Amino acid sequence: MFEPLELLEKLAALTPRPRINLVLYHGVLAPHSGWRARVVAYDAPPVQAPAAASASADANDAPPSRHWAWAELMRRAFDIDVLACPRCGGRLRLIATVEAPDAVRAILATLALSEEGADRAPPFAPSLSTSHIAAIGA
């Protein structure tokens, strides 16, 4: 239907520029609309957590946040409760986030050497190429 150059022109017109928003809001949802505050719930109460989580005192003391916690995002997106203990069904809580590579290596080395870690899964699964090479060499 189109000549090759004409097809490329049509496709180029449909391709968005890099690093621009693809979702644009118009009308009362537009960023500078005078009525936006009336239709967007900025100060709406937060979404109710599951019954087990709402019983904790820590959740009631914290001020409402604009940001979603990663556990809530996982629950909302995949319907998975990542803070439920697989053994007893109780609630897990985040103690700390370790991001320093040296600290992570030290913790993993300690876990690998401890007897408690003996019943855990190995630190990594061998890749297909490694197991294939080992099978050939045997």
Distance, CA of 67 to CA of 39 (rounded, Å): 20
Going from N- to C-terminal start, the domains of the chain cover: 4-64
Is the CB of residue 83 less than 8 Å from the CB of residue 93? yes
Residue ranges in the chain whose pLDDT is less than 50: 53-54, 117, 128-138
The number of helices, as runs of H, and strands, as runs of E, in the chain is: 7, 0
Is the CB of residue 91 less than 8 Å from the CB of residue 53? yes
Reported as a single tens digit per residue, the pLDDT across 41-67 is 776 665 565 555 445 555 556 666 667
pLDDT at 5: 92
Is the CB of residue 82 less than 8 Å from the CB of residue 71? yes
pLDDT at 14: 85
pLDDT at 138: 42
52 three-class SS: helix
**Phi, psi angle pair for 77, to nearest 5°:** -80, -45
pLDDT at 112: 79
SS3 helix, strand, coil % of the chain, rounded to 5? Answer: 45, 0, 55
84 three-class SS: strand
